[in-house]
Amino acid sequence: MLNLDEKILFALNNLNGKYRSLDAIIAWTVSDYLIPVCLCLALICVWLVGHNKTTRYSYQLGVFSALTAMAISSGIAQLLSGLIERPRPFVTHDLIVVFYKPTDFSFPANSVAACFAIAAVVSTFNKKLGLSMFVMGGILAFSRVYVGVHYPSDVLMGAIIGILSIIPVYILLKLTEPMPTCFIKVARILRLA
């Protein structure tokens, strides 16, 4: 008897090869790098924009926080992965894999955690951009299940870890407050902000 996690995995994985346009989109979006790099490039743009000094400082502090959240969520995901050691779905099931076969463990999805961490922080200071980042993270999560490299629960837990990573980020931000402000001031002196 299949559990819900496996049923969803098989339903999505069975779509492989049936819709060429969907397969082509998934081939682009499934990468560990495309969507996370796009989100990081968006952070670079956010770092440089702002119609006044206060807004720019707020955005730069937000970028600093988003990168910290990404690091925390990735660290937590790596720690859990090593503790749980859940094999990838293609290892335990006969699946169509249209992507390279990662050799690390499946649970939780680290790239999804990183994307949702960035999106969660950005949504606190720019709702529209944050929402678009959540959509991109959702596309990545769907793609990873579609190609059989993660179970749905892997990407769901990755998203939860990413979203919850804003809690320690804001605690750290309050505890280390002079440091982020000094970092931004130094970056401005060096014409990097």
CA gap 99, 41 in Å, rounded = 24
Q: What mean pLDDT comes out for the span 143-163?
A: 93
CA distances from 19 to 6, 25, 191 (A): 21, 10, 49
The answer, yes or no, to whether residue 191 has pLDDT greater than 50, is yes
The answer, yes or no, to whether residue 1 has pLDDT greater than 50, is no
What is the reported pLDDT for 123? 95
Domain that holds residue 139: 4-189
Q: Is 64 in contact with 183 (CB distance < 8 Å)?
A: yes
What is the reported pLDDT for 193? 67
CA gap 183, 102 in Å, rounded = 37
- Give helix then strand counts, H and E, for the chain: 10, 0
Question: Which of these ranges, 69-83, 110-124, 168-182, has the smallest mean pLDDT?
Answer: 168-182
The count of structural domains within the chain is 1
Q: Hey, how many other C-beta atoms are within 10 angstroms of the C-beta on 172?
A: 16
What is the reported pLDDT for 121? 96
What is the reported pLDDT for 166? 94
CA distances from 188 to 40, 49, 57, 67, 192 (A): 20, 13, 10, 19, 6
Q: Is 129 in contact with 136 (CB distance < 8 Å)?
A: no
Tell me the CATH number at 11: 1.20.144.10
Query: Structure pTM?
Result: 0.89
